[in-house]
Amino acid sequence: MALSTEDIKKIAHLARIEVSDSDANATLSKLTGILGLIEQMQAVNTDGIVPMSHSQDVVQRLRDDVVTKTNQREAFQKISPAVGNGSDARAVDGGLYLVPKVIE
């Protein structure tokens, strides 16, 4: 599968990573190398083999449905990143974490 720098830009955007044009070319060749490796692996016959979803062959342990967490809002909000539009650097308001306005 051949990737283009357009693909690189798109993948970077989806991950919210800024990639310059020169970096995009370097990333393109690295990713193409990785895809080549995958292609090589895909040539192996895997008929009848259940796809592996985890590297360890064990199953999920379950937790009892009991409240174990206490309210630590104050501690968490003390280290909450200061965000804002420059004039307002408050990170929290009325217990809410503040972020730049998002409205669809």
Partner 1 sequence: MEWEVVIGLETHTQLRTNTKIFSGASTTYGAEPNTQACEVSIALPGVLPVLNKEAVNCAIKFGLAVNAEIAPRSVFARKNYFYPDLPKGYQISQYELPVVGKGAVTIQVPAVGKNAAYEKVINITRAHLEEDAGKSVHGAVEGMSGIDLNRAGTPLLEIVTEPDMRSAAEAVAYAKKLHELVQWIGICDGNMQEGSFRCDVNVSVRPKGTEKLGTRREIKNLNSFKFMQQAIEYETRWQIETLEDGGTIQQATVLFNPDTGETRAMRSKEEANDYRYFPDPDLLPLEITEADKTRVQAQMPELPEAMKLRFETQFGLTSYDAASLTASRELAQYFVETVDAGAEAKPAANWVMGAISAKLNAEEKSLAESPVSSVSLASLLKRIADNTISNNAAKQVFEAMWNGEGEVDAIIDAKGLKQVSDTGAIEAIIDEVLAANAAMVEEFKAGKEKAFNALVGQAMKASKGKANPAQVNEVLKKKLGA
Binding positions for partner 1, rule: CB under 8 A: 10, 13-16, 53-56, 58-69, 71-73, 76-77, 83-85, 88, 90, 93-104
Angle subtended at Cα 19 by Cα 18 and Cα 20, rounded to the nearest 5 degrees: 120
Shortest reach from residue 22's CB to partner 1, in Å: 23
18 φψ region: left (φ > 0), alpha (ψ -120 to 50), beta (else): beta
Give the nearer residue to partner 1 in terms of CB position, either 25 or 80.
80
Give the nearer residue to partner 1 in terms of CB position, either 18 or 101.
101
Strand-pairing partners, residue 49, are none
Shortest reach from residue 43's CB to partner 1, in Å: 22
Structural contact between residues 82 and 91, judged by C-beta atoms closer than 8 angstroms: yes
What's the rounded Cα separation, in Å, for the pair 20 and 9? 9
Give the nearer residue to partner 1 in terms of CB position, either 22 or 60.
60
